[in-house]
Amino acid sequence: MAIEVRIPTILRTYTDGAKQVEGAGSTLDELITDLEQRHGGLRDRLVDGGGLRRFVNVYLNDEDVRFLAGLETPVKDGDTVTVLPAVAGGDR
Amino acid sequence: MLTIPRDLHDKIVAHARADHPDEACGVLAGPAGRDRPERFIAMLNAERSPTFYRFDSAEQFRVWREMDERDEEPIVIYHSHTATGAYPSRTDISYASEPQAHYVLVSTRDDEQAEFRSFRIVDGEVTEEPVTVVE
Res. A1: pLDDT tops 70: no
Give A49's pLDDT tier (boundaries 50, 70, 90). Answer: confident
Instruction: Flag whether pLDDT at A41 surpasses 90.
Output: yes
Asked if A73 and A26 count as a contact pair (C-beta separation under 8 A), the reply is: no
Residues of chain B with pLDDT under 50: none
| pLDDT (0 to 100) of residue A50 | 77
* Contact between residue B61 and residue A84 where contact means Cβ atoms under 8 Å apart: yes
CATH topology of domain B2-134: Cytidine Deaminase; domain 2 (3.40.140)
* pLDDT, averaged across chain A: 96
pTM attached to this predicted model: 0.94
Q: How far apart are CA B114 and CA B80, in angstroms?
A: 10
**H helix and E strand count, chain A:** 2, 8
Stretch A32-42: mean pLDDT? 97
The CATH number of A3-85 is 3.10.20.30
Q: Do B55 and A87 touch (CB under 8 A)?
A: yes
Alpha helices for B55-105 (secondary structure H):
57-69, 90-95
Q: Give the model's pLDDT for residue B77.
A: 98
Amino acid at A12: R
Q: What is the predicted pLDDT for the residue at A40?
A: 97
Cβ contacts below 8 Å, chain A against chain B, sum to: 80
Is A1 an interface residue toward B (CB < 8 Å)?
no
- Judged by CB atoms within 8 Å, which residues 10-69 of A form the interface with B? 10, 55, 57, 59, 62, 64, 66
Pairing of strands A47-48, A51-52: antiparallel
Sketch the domain layout of chain B as residue ranges. 2-134
**Residue A30 to residue A17: CA distance in whole angstroms:** 23
Residues of B with CB below 8 A from A8's CB?
97
pLDDT at residue number A92? 87
CB contact under 8 A, B49 and A92: no
Is B60 within 8 Å of A84 when comparing Cβ atoms? Answer: yes
Residue B99 touches partner A, C-beta closer than 8 Å? yes
> Which residues numbered 52-91 in B keep a CB inside 8 Å of some CB on A?
52-55, 57-58, 60-61, 64, 77, 79, 81-84, 88-91
pLDDT at position A75 is: 98
Give the pLDDT of residue B102.
Answer: 98
